[in-house]
Amino acid sequence: MDNRSKELRELIVMGLENGNRGHIGPSMSLVEILRVLYDDILRFDPKKPNWDKRDRFILSKGHGCLALYAILIDKGFIKKNELKKFCKFDSILGGHPEYHKIKGVEASTGSLGHGFPIAVGMAIAAKIKKTSNKIIAITGDGEMNEGSNWEAAMTASKHKLSNLTLIIDYNKIQSYGYTKDVLNLEPLKMKLTSFGFSCKEVDGHNIQQLKKTFLKLPFDTNKPSAVICHTVKGKGIMYAEGKPEWHHKSKISKDDIKKMYESLKNYN
C-alpha cells in the first residue's frame, strides 16, 4: 500500500474519529477503486459540479460513503474541515451520501439496490441525447442480492448501454456474515455474462490492474460493462481485515482510532 492510499484511508479514520461511528470495512475496501476512477477515468470539474459534460458516478453501496467523501475532499469538491462534523446534526456528511447536499454526489444512496438502476436511467438518457458521458456505478457484493439490480441489468442489456459500467466491490462479506453463507453469488461472472454484460475480474487493490482494466472501457461497444473487483473488507486496518464484526460500529473508542492510525502507518 503506497502513501496515497494510506492518506485517503487516514481521511476515512478522521471521519470515524469525529463521528464516533461509521462503516469501517465497506469504506476501506473501496479506496483503490475510487482512487483510480477519480485520478484516471472520470471526467469532472470540482468548480463546476453540474457541468453537463461530466461523467456520472454513483456509489450505490452508500454505506461506504466515507471513502467517497475522502476522494471528494482530495479532488476539491468539499473541504476537509467537513469531516470534523461527520454524522453530526448540522453536517452535510451523513452516514450515507445525499444528492444536492454534497457537491459531486449524483444520487442519494444507502437504500440498497437503488443506485445501479438510477445509473441505468442516466445511461439511457445519455444515449437518447447522444452525449459521451460515462456512467459508472459501484455496488457491494451483498447488495447484489437485491432483485432491482438484476432488473436493471436486463434493461441495460436490452438497450445495449455501452456507456454504462457496473463495478462490484466483491469483498466477500456483507452486513452480518460472509456472502457465500448469506446468499452465494457464484458463479458471478457467468451470471453477469448471461445477463448480457461484457465482464472482467480484477484485484480491487492493485492500482495498475485497475487502471489498465478501466482504461479499456467499454469492453464491448454493443454491451454494458461489468468489473468484479476482488477486495479485502477493512483493507489497511490489519486487525479488522476480513472480519464481519468490523462492517459497522455504532461507537468507536479513542483507543480504536489510535490503533487504526497505527495500523495504516505500519501497513506495507
CATH of the domain at 31: 3.40.50.970
Number of domains, the chain: 1
Mean pLDDT of 172-201: 97
- Confidence grade of residue 176 (pLDDT, cut at 50, 70, 90): confident
CA triple 58-62-63, angle to 5 deg: 155
Indicate whether 118 pLDDT > 90: yes
Q: pLDDT tens-digit profile of 62-98? A: 999 999 999 999 999 999 999 999 999 999 999 999 9
Q: In this model, does residue 220 exceed pLDDT 90?
A: yes
Whether 268 shows a pLDDT value over 90: the answer reads no
- 258/268 Cα distance (integer angstroms): 18
Considering only CA atoms, which of 5, 29, 36 is closest in space to residue 170?
Answer: 29
Question: Which residue segment(s) compose the domain that 222 sits in?
Answer: 3-45+52-266
217: phi then psi, degrees, rounded to nearest 5: -65, 140
Q: Record the pTM.
A: 0.97
Average pLDDT of span 189-216: 98
Contact 267, 240 (CB under 8 A): no
